[in-house]
Amino acid sequence: MSEQQEPQATETPEREAPSRSRLFLEDLAGLNVDLRSAVLVPILAIVTALLVGALIILMTDIDLWRGEVTLGESLGEIGNAYKALALGSFGSIRAISETLVASAPLILGGLSGWRSASGPGSSTSGPRDRSSSEACSG
């Protein structure tokens, strides 16, 4: 006769409670957001923008194309340009204030579009009211 073995109960590991920051991000976005992605993506976007900007500055440097300056000097000028950008944006209380005044409408407009586009059945592909589009077309 063969002995039948009882199936052994496998222990399921207890899941750790999500951190407060993770819960905040999930509530804010309404999605399951990985905290590393939420931090890494904006940082990579900023680094990429700075590299593309440096490439554009380098490609449009007339003195470099004429051979009047070396590549190292042009790279130094790119560093000076980014230093001036940082000081002009955050170098004083007035500069920070002006940066916030100039960027607030862009930030609020982006958040408004994100919020209206996130609702069920919302569409941003055209005007919502047909009568307003006919009135504009004349």
Assess if residue 8 is contained within a domain.
no
pLDDT tens-place string over residues 92-112:
999 999 999 999 999 998 888
Number of domains in the chain: 2
- The pLDDT of residue 38: 74
Same domain, 24 and 43: yes
Assess if residue 111 is contained within a domain.
no
Terminal-residue alpha carbon distance, the chain: 93
Judging by beta carbons within 10 Å of its beta carbon (0-12, 13-18, 19+), is residue 17 exposed, middle or buried?
A: exposed
pLDDT at 6 over 80: no
Assess if residue 13 is contained within a domain.
no
- The pLDDT of residue 2: 53
Same domain, 25 and 52: yes
- The pLDDT of residue 45: 93
Higher pLDDT, 66 or 116: 66
Same domain, 55 and 82: no
- Average of pLDDT values for 24-50? 78
Assess if residue 133 is contained within a domain.
no
pLDDT at 124 over 70: no
Same domain, 54 and 79: no
Same domain, 24 and 51: yes
- The pLDDT of residue 33: 60
Q: Which of 114, 88, 110 is nearest to 99 (CA)?
A: 88
Listed residues 60, 85, 114: the one ending a domain: 60
Assess if residue 87 is contained within a domain.
yes
Assess if residue 42 is contained within a domain.
yes
pTM over 0.85: no
Task: Quickly state the pLDDT bin for 41 (edges 50, 70, 90).
Answer: confident
Gyration radius of the chain's alpha carbons: 27
Query: Domain range holding 82?
Result: 70-104
Assess if residue 89 is contained within a domain.
yes
